[in-house]
Homo-oligomer: A and B are copies of this chain.
Amino acid sequence: MKKNKPKYRQIIDAAVIVIAENGYHQSQVSKIAKQAGVADGTIYLYFKNKEDILISLFENKMGHFVEMIEEKIAGKVRAAEKLLMMVETHFHILSQDKHLAIVTQLELRQSNIDLRQKINAILKGYLGLIDSILLEGKKTGEFASNLDVRLARQMIFGTMDETATTWVMNDQKYDLTALAPEVHRLLISGCKSQ
């Protein structure tokens, strides 16, 4: 399995740094290779093509998001609490990795539609996590029984995403994680049963 060889990670980590520092369109394969300390051709021993680096990168990092969040919400009982942990963890991971935040919030969005479709497929896992919390909340009566799960999920994801992007575009100069409780409060109101 290539994914476990050291050069695989080396190349992905190099890609995050190179893209964050140079921008998506200035991140040539040769630049990533140099940062990773391998030859250009070596990249193609681990990835089908350039797009495959980006997809793998996103898959890898998004998997980390889902894992971390699942771990954090495991002990929580109420859906509202789980949502709070999700927002907090989401913001926290981005706060921890300056480069990753730039790459996911800004640079990767410059990719073409094809790549974006694939990124969306990967995102499904994360969106499914939101859905499951919402469904659970509806089942326990914590959330309104007629809550539109798809719309609520779009609100939750759209709000976290917009908040994170604004923070990155403002050069990450304030504390993103500190915003989690208020963002959570805004989101939760619409979901609750009266």
Contacts and interface: CB of A to CB of B under 8 A. Distances in A.
A148 B179 CA distance: 10
Contacts of A158: 155, 158-163
Contacts of A166: 154
Nearest to A116: B106
Given A151-B179, A155-B187, A182-B151, A111 B110 contact: yes
Interface string A176-194: 0001001101111111100
Give the interface size class of chain A. Answer: 35 or more
Contacts of A151: 163, 179, 182-183, 186
Nearest to A117: B169
Number of copies: 4
Give the one of A148, A154, A188 with max B CB within 10 A: A154
A113 interface: yes
Contacts of A110: 109-112
A64 B25 CA distance: 31
Give the one of A110, A111, A163, A191 with max B CB within 10 A: A110
A126 interface: no
Contact of A163 (B24, B154, B188): B154
Shortest 9 CB-CB distances between A and B: which pairs?
A158-B162, A186-B190, A189-B189, A158-B158, A189-B190, A155-B159, A158-B159, A154-B162, A154-B163
